[in-house]
Amino acid sequence: MTDSFAPPAPSLQFDLPNGISIAADAYGDPSRQPVLFLHGGGQTRHAWGDSAETLAQHGFYAISMDHRGHGNSSWADVGEYHIFHYVEDLQHVIAQLDRKPILVGASLGGLAAILVETAQEESLARGMILVDVTPRLERDGVARVKEFMKGGTSGFASLEEVADSIARYLPHRKRPEDLSGLAKNLRRKEDGRYYWHWDPKMLKAIGPSRHHQEADRLLKERLEDVSNLRIPTLLIRGRMSDLVSTETAAEFLEMVPHAEYVDLADAHHMVAGDRNDVFTETVKEFLLRRFPPEDTTHEDRVQRTSQ
């Protein structure tokens, strides 16, 4: 059966020394300041398309990548999906960039970004934007995410069934009338069913595991060192989130007192999907203020001088 719902091919590929190939889409002038978008578990690089295009229009070089086991990036044959595997991949991707990037990470991507920075004496990034993720996530919220992901491992009979599943998980979000956009995150296999484009083996690495006890202990220690963050940092929380509470956000801000904080109304854990316009504007404002491009438009200059 021909896959009539194949997403567009990536415009960029990073071949890593560990044998993993990372697919990405790039927007803007490669000579400008790179902004590297890191999606959450179970998502793909397409989660950031609108935001990346907007940043490119304002003088940044925006790169949105698929993590291993997601989208068009390599899937690990033996299930190598502990958080430290993603950290290793991110270190290798950063090493192939001409400049230190600004990292924008949601959930899994945000944890990888934090760990990359706390592992180094010298920062690998110029700045960091964390999207509804802190070192301590609420267990009930993590469990709900995992249950939603497990519910799709047997596939879906139709795009309508996919949309129904999302609506049950995100009841606050309006169900789209046009379902064609779902195709970027799905594959239609030979059995005629639609499957999320991520490796189901990844689920075994989510949350504490007896198979990763030592790595989990090291992870806890490293996340407790988040006070070592020195680069400009912004935490964006979805006000309806069940993974990042007001308490866990406050903990993070106490550990990283220089960090800025924005609490977006009417947004759940999937902040960029719930309030894309407001999210993109928040990211753009922070970046233009803290990392003004070498050459900006008149509109950008007016916005910064009026703040």
Residue 181 lies in a domain: no
| Percentage of the chain lying above the pLDDT 90 cut | 59
Q: Which two tokens stand for residue 50?
A: 């609108």
Cα separation, 4 vs 25, in Å, equals: 21
Domain count, the chain: 1
Determine the average pLDDT of the residues in 251-267.
94
Q: Which two tokens stand for residue 200?
A: 């189901």
> What CATH number does residue 294 fall under?
3.40.50.1820
Residue 3 lies in a domain: no
Read off the DSSP letter of residue 156. Answer: B
Q: Which two tokens stand for residue 192?
A: 């005629």
Instruction: Residue 69: name the closest of 203, 191, 182, 159 by CA.
Output: 203
Band of the pLDDT at 295, cuts 50, 70, 90?
A: low
Residue 190 lies in a domain: no
pLDDT in tens, 101-128: 999 999 999 999 999 998 878 899 999 9
- Residue 140: count other Cβ atoms within 10 Å of its Cβ: 10
Q: Write down the pLDDT at residue 118.
A: 87
In which region does residue 170 sit, left (phi positive, over 0), alpha (psi from -120 to 50) or beta (all else)?
A: beta
Q: Write down the pLDDT at residue 146.
A: 86
Residue 20 lies in a domain: yes
Determine the average pLDDT of the residues in 161-187.
85
- 304 has pLDDT over 50: no
Instruction: Residue 35: name the closest of 11, 13, 51 by CA.
Output: 51
pLDDT in tens, 131-159: 999 988 888 888 888 888 888 889 999 99
> Mean of the per-residue pLDDT values for the chain?
86
Quote the longest CA-to-CA distance of the chain. 58
Q: Write down the pLDDT at residue 307.
A: 39
CA atoms within 13 A on the CB side of 31: 2
Q: Which two tokens stand for residue 17?
A: 């020394």
- 9 has pLDDT over 90: no
Residue 178 lies in a domain: no
pLDDT in tens, 76-103: 988 889 888 999 999 999 999 999 999 9
pLDDT in tens, 44-57: 999 997 999 999 99
pLDDT in tens, 180-227: 778 788 888 999 999 999 999 988 776 555 445 555 566 667 677 788
Residue 156 lies in a domain: no
For residues 296 and 288, the answer to whether their CB atoms sit within 8 Å is yes
Band of the pLDDT at 129, cuts 50, 70, 90?
A: very high
Lowest mean pLDDT among 16-30, 172-186, 208-222, 254-268: 208-222
Q: Which domain holds residue 93?
A: 12-144+203-305
Entry pTM: 0.88
Residue 172 lies in a domain: no
Phi, psi (degrees; rounded to nearest 5) at 198? -145, 155
